[in-house]
Amino acid sequence: MDFLTLAKERYSVRKFSPKSIEKAKLDLVLKAGQLAPTACNLQPQRILVINSETALSKLDQCTPWRFGAPAALLVCYDKTVCWHRRFDDKASGEIDASIVTTQMMMEAANIGLTTTWVMMFDPEKIAKTFNLPDNFIPVALLVIGYAADDVVPNQLHEQRLAIDNTVFYNDFADYSL
Ligand SMILES: Cc1cc2nc3c(=O)[nH]c(=O)nc-3n(C[C@H](O)[C@H](O)[C@H](O)COP(=O)(O)O)c2cc1C
């Protein structure tokens, strides 16, 4: 499948089959994260694979949005490792972690798995529950697995702004925004 078709056909799945993910497929998804670009190639991502019964039930106390997935990838970054822009000290960690998450999400779709990117979790609770080191900042939870048989895309999936609402050329002064 070409990339734009994959990007169009991928959608957030919020009802999973209990079928577990084959180790080889999980490894491919994690590989896609490893291959992601990061600022200055510092690779500050730290990914916790949550797939044991015990860990999944602990996760359920941090978010109601697991949707029955048999696994979740908690994507964090190490704030002592990520790059900082010298002009304003902006840190790259959230961006790096988001690119890693996106690549894993797309590879999952590429190999027939489904996901939802979940931001709706209590970061303090998740840090405490999973014993994150103080310098690890959780950014994204990618719930992952096989879709339940009766899943259809949410209506939001079809709703993308017209491209000229989001893309501009050369100078914003040329537009009335
Ligand atoms: C940064 C981010 C945070 C999100 N957080 C949640 C979430 O907490 N719960 C949820 O159900 N979906 C969440 N989503 C999924 C979006 O709602 C979904 O991607 C969007 O509505 C477009 O639908 P589609 O993914 O089916 O194309 C999140 C997506 C992103 C990129």
173 CA distance to ligand 1 middle (Å): 32
> Whose Cα sits closest to atom 22 in ligand 1?
157
Domains, the chain, ranges and CATH? 3-149 (3.40.109.10)
- The finding on whether 117 has its CB within 6 A of some atom of ligand 1 is yes
- The finding on whether 120 has its CB within 6 A of some atom of ligand 1 is yes
- The finding on whether 12 has its CB within 6 A of some atom of ligand 1 is yes
33 CA distance to ligand 1 middle (Å): 19
Q: What is the mean pLDDT of residues 158-176?
A: 96
Q: What is the pLDDT of residue 87?
A: 98
Q: What is the pLDDT of residue 62?
A: 94
Q: What angle do CA 115, 120, 121 make, to 5 degrees?
A: 105
Instruction: Tell me the average pLDDT of the chain.
Output: 97
Q: What is the pLDDT of residue 1?
A: 85
pLDDT class for 166, splitting at 50, 70, 90? very high
- In sequence order, the β-bridge partners of residue 118 are 141
Provide, rounded to the nearest whole percent, the portion of the chain with pLDDT above 90. 99
Q: What is the mean pLDDT of residues 77-85?
A: 98
Is pLDDT at 12 greater than 90 in this prediction? yes
pLDDT tens readout for residues 13-63: 999 999 999 999 999 999 999 999 999 999 999 999 999 999 999 999 999
Q: What is the mean pLDDT of residues 97-116?
A: 98
CA 59 to chain centre: 16
Helix 23-34 crosses helix 93-110 at what angle (to 10 degrees)?
Answer: 140
